[in-house]
Amino acid sequence: MLSHMFVEATDLRRKIRCQEIRYAGNRKLGIYGKLSCFSGKRMKRENRVFFSSEEEAITNGYRPCGHCMKKQYKAWYDRFIQ
Specify the CATH number for the domain of residue 56: 3.40.10.10
Residue 80 has what pLDDT? 80
Give the Cα separation of 13 and 11 in Å (integer).
Answer: 6
pLDDT at 82: 66
Instruction: Count the domains in the chain.
Output: 1
| pLDDT < 70 positions in the chain | 82
Which range marks the domain in which residue 42 is found? 2-80
Is the pTM for the entire model greater than 0.85? yes
Task: Give the separation between CA 55 and CA 12, rounded to whole angstroms.
Answer: 20
Residue-level pLDDT at 32 = 98
